[in-house]
């Protein structure tokens, strides 16, 4: 992962080395986390935190294959008994965390999500148990809150989808990436379009309210014509949401061995395909929520978007999940390489319940980092940042007072619009979200990410 941008003439003429520095879905990134020498107790960490609108995330670190572009914390397949042992450990962790939240004030979850990996790698019976853990151990009422689940075409089987629908799933995200079989192979995601279409039919038959389809642009051999063909194939299913991701080639991934020097021509191609896809979806009645996310204008509301991560109160369960309090973000150890991931998963399933009562890896969040995080995550949404909200959160200060150099640079590049009450990225600013985000990283986070030893 590239950790910083450096001002200079770029291929797009906008003043950065590349519009594709890093996908910032959370800040700080886990490569900035370090082992916590004091291993703080969770009950102390959560004692003063609001608990009336928590988010719950359960992480399943298994996939049937690992796509060539993927750097998520996941392993390929599972030996006999491993998924059951993993759910056992997840239950121990959920019980310990729920106890740490205490009983002195009501604990309520406002949203829930199952991610990975591929949660639907689990069998239908195991998905039932996963939902039981979320409800009976963590204490979430899955039928009363938005519940999002990630799936792949191969694992979106009728029996699994039936379980998810019956247990309250409101959003199913299907990782398609391309409807073109040749492009799928180029991304090291072997699949047939016929199987993808069949999976989409099963999702619609399950009557889950929101279908999201993930697509990727910038794949080797992809053209404007094939990109539009994939978009139209997705639109034929009238998905409530579409995510359009630029392809990244990252270290320690299947495609990573082909990584080379920065490629301005590839940057230009990805920007061109992004703009083509954006305009195509806008013309078909979708509203842009962020650089990646587009929602159909008549889609049912789903609560907080994936990009609305500036608030705290996240409970992450599973060896790849992270949790957020106001003063600390924490998780287990992080890796991308297959051997190291297997070791972390094996360690997780062997842990006794007492181990889950403490935080092990993480990063402290001071006031400056909290401001950066709020600004960064707000700007990466199309609706932008509410200045009055920022002032209320941070003692009456304004973003212009706290980040004058960064915001001036964005404005000079034509990326920032300031109408007084709100700061928003312009359409061109949204197109450069993956340069905007990293430019707001603090020097300390940049240094920690640069010092991280990949494994």
pLDDT digits (tens, 9 = 90+) for 236-274: 999 999 999 999 875 444 444 445 556 899 999 999 999
Is a pLDDT exceeding 70 seen at residue 317?
Answer: yes
Q: Are 226 and 138 within one domain?
A: yes
Q: Residues 440, 22: contact at Cβ < 8 Å?
A: no
Q: Are 275 and 381 within one domain?
A: no
147-151/171-177 β-pairing: parallel
Looking at 296, 318, 352, which one is the last position of a domain?
296
- The C-alpha atoms of residue 327 and residue 371 are separated, in whole angstroms, by 12
Q: What pLDDT score does 191 carry?
A: 86
Q: Are 389 and 278 within one domain?
A: no
Lowest mean pLDDT among 223-232, 310-319, 372-381, 397-406: 310-319
Q: What pLDDT score does 418 carry?
A: 87
pLDDT band at 15 (very low <50, low <70, confident <90, very high): very low
Q: What pLDDT score does 260 carry?
A: 53
Residue 6 in any domain: the answer is no
Q: Are 384 and 278 within one domain?
A: no
Q: What pLDDT score does 358 carry?
A: 98
Residue 428's CB is within 10 A of a number of other CB atoms, namely 16
DSSP secondary structure code for residue 175 in this structure: E
What would the mean pLDDT of 367-395 be, rounded to a whole number? 95
Looking at 270, 296, 322, which one is the last position of a domain?
296
What would the mean pLDDT of 411-420 be, rounded to a whole number? 93
Is a pLDDT exceeding 90 seen at residue 186?
Answer: no
Looking at 296, 331, 355, which one is the last position of a domain?
296
The SS3 of residue 114 is: strand
In this predicted model, which residue has the larger pLDDT, 435 or 14?
A: 435
Residue 241 in any domain: the answer is yes
pLDDT tens, residue by residue, 132-171 = 999 999 999 999 999 999 999 999 999 999 999 999 999 9
Q: What pLDDT score does 12 carry?
A: 35
Q: Which domain holds residue 160?
A: 30-296
What would the mean pLDDT of 25-30 be, rounded to a whole number? 91
Is a pLDDT exceeding 50 seen at residue 17?
Answer: yes
- The C-alpha atoms of residue 210 and residue 221 are separated, in whole angstroms, by 31
Q: Radius of gyration of the chain from Cα atoms?
A: 21
Q: Residues 278, 288: contact at Cβ < 8 Å?
A: yes
- The C-alpha atoms of residue 67 and residue 192 are separated, in whole angstroms, by 14
pLDDT band at 108 (very low <50, low <70, confident <90, very high): very high
Q: Are 275 and 408 within one domain?
A: no
Task: Output the CA torsion 53→146→285→381 (10° steps).
Answer: 30
Residue 154 in any domain: the answer is yes
- The C-alpha atoms of residue 218 and residue 266 are separated, in whole angstroms, by 7
- The C-alpha atoms of residue 291 and residue 125 are separated, in whole angstroms, by 37
pLDDT band at 76 (very low <50, low <70, confident <90, very high): confident
Q: Are 148 and 34 within one domain?
A: yes
Q: What pLDDT score does 301 carry?
A: 76
Q: What pLDDT score does 14 carry?
A: 39
pLDDT band at 70 (very low <50, low <70, confident <90, very high): low
Sign of the alpha-carbon torsion through 448, 61, 71, 149: negative
In this predicted model, which residue has the larger pLDDT, 188 or 412?
A: 412
Residue 337 in any domain: the answer is no
What would the mean pLDDT of 226-233 be, rounded to a whole number? 98
pLDDT band at 201 (very low <50, low <70, confident <90, very high): very high
Is a pLDDT exceeding 60 seen at residue 323?
Answer: yes
Residue 329 in any domain: the answer is no
- The C-alpha atoms of residue 85 and residue 294 are separated, in whole angstroms, by 38
What is the tally of structural domains in the chain? Answer: 2
Can you give the three-state secondary structure of 209-247, one letter per residue? CEEEEEEEECCCCCCHHHHHHHHHHHHCCCCCEEEEEEC
Q: What pLDDT score does 235 carry?
A: 98
Residue 330 in any domain: the answer is no
Token pair listed for 78:
């599972």
Residue 250 in any domain: the answer is yes
CATH code for position 208:
3.20.20.70
Q: What pLDDT score does 310 carry?
A: 41
Q: Are 292 and 163 within one domain?
A: yes
Q: Are 123 and 206 within one domain?
A: yes
Lowest mean pLDDT among 66-75, 144-153, 313-322: 66-75
Is a pLDDT exceeding 60 seen at residue 3?
Answer: no
Task: Output the CA torsion 364→368→370→371 (10° steps).
Answer: -170
Is a pLDDT exceeding 60 seen at residue 6?
Answer: no
Q: Are 375 and 282 within one domain?
A: no
Residue 277 in any domain: the answer is yes
Q: Are 381 and 250 within one domain?
A: no
Q: What pLDDT score does 274 carry?
A: 98
Examine residue 145 and say whether the peptide bond preceding it is cis (omega within 30 degrees of 0): no
Mean pLDDT, the chain, integer: 89
In this predicted model, which residue has the larger pLDDT, 304 or 8?
A: 304
CATH code for position 374:
1.10.10.920
Q: Residues 171, 149: contact at Cβ < 8 Å?
A: yes
What would the mean pLDDT of 72-80 be, rounded to a whole number? 71
Q: Are 290 and 372 within one domain?
A: no
What would the mean pLDDT of 12-19 be, rounded to a whole number? 56
Lowest mean pLDDT among 102-116, 150-164, 293-307, 426-440: 293-307
Q: Are 176 and 42 within one domain?
A: yes
């Amino acid at each position: 992962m590239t950790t910083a941008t450096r001002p200079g003439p770029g291929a797009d003429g906008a003043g950065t080395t590349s519009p594709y520095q890093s996908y910032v879905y959370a800040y700080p990134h886990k490569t900035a986390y370090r082992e916590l020498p004091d291993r703080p107790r969770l009950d102390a960490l959560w004692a003063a935190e609001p608990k009336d609108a928590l988010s719950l995330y359960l992480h399943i670190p298994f996939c049937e294959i690992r796509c060539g572009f993927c750097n998520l914390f996941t392993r390929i397949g599972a030996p006999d008994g491993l998924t059951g042992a993993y759910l056992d450990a997840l239950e121990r962790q959920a019980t310990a965390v729920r106890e740490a939240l205490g009983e002195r004030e009501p604990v309520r979850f406002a949203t829930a999500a199952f991610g990975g990996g591929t949660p639907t790698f689990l069998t239908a019976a195991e998905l039932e148990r996963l939902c039981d853990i979320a409800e009976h151990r963590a204490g979430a009422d899955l039928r009363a809150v938005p519940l999002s689940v990630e799936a792949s075409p191969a694992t979106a089987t009728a029996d699994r989808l039936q379980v998810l629908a019956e247990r309250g799933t409101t959003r199913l995200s299907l990782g398609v990436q391309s409807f073109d079989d040749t492009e799928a192979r180029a991304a090291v995601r072997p699949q047939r379009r016929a199987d993808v279409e069949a999976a989409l039919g099963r999702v619609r038959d399950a009557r889950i309210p929101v279908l999201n389809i993930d697509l990727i642009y910038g794949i080797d051999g992809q053209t404007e014509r094939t990109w539009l063909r994939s978009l139209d194939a997705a639109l034929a299913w009238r998905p409530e949401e579409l995510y359009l991701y630029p392809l990244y080639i990252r270290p320690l991934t299947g495609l990573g061995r082909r990584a080379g020097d920065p490629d301005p021509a590839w940057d230009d191609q990805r920007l061109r395909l992004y703009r083509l896809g954006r305009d195509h979806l806008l013309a078909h009645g979708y509203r842009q929520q962020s650089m990646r996310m587009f929602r159909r204008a008549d889609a049912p509301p789903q609560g907080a978007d994936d990009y609305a991560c500036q608030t705290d109160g996240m409970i992450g369960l599973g060896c790849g999940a992270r949790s957020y309090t106001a003063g600390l973000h924490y998780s287990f150890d992080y890796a991308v390489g297959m051997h190291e991931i297997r070791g972390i998963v094996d360690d997780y399933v062997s842990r006794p319940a007492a181990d889950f009562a403490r935080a092990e890896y993480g990063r402290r969040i001071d006031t400056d980092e909290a401001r950066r995080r709020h600004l960064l995550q707000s700007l990466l949404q199309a609706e932008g940042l509410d200045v009055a909200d920022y002032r209320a959160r941070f003692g009456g200060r304004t973003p212009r007072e706290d980040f004058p150099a960064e915001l001036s640079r964005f404005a000079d590049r034509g990326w920032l619009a300031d109408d007084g009450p709100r700061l928003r990225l312009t359409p061109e600013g949204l197109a450069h979200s993956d340069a905007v985000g990293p430019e707001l990283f603090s020097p300390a986070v940049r240094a920690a990410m640069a010092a991280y030893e990949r494994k």
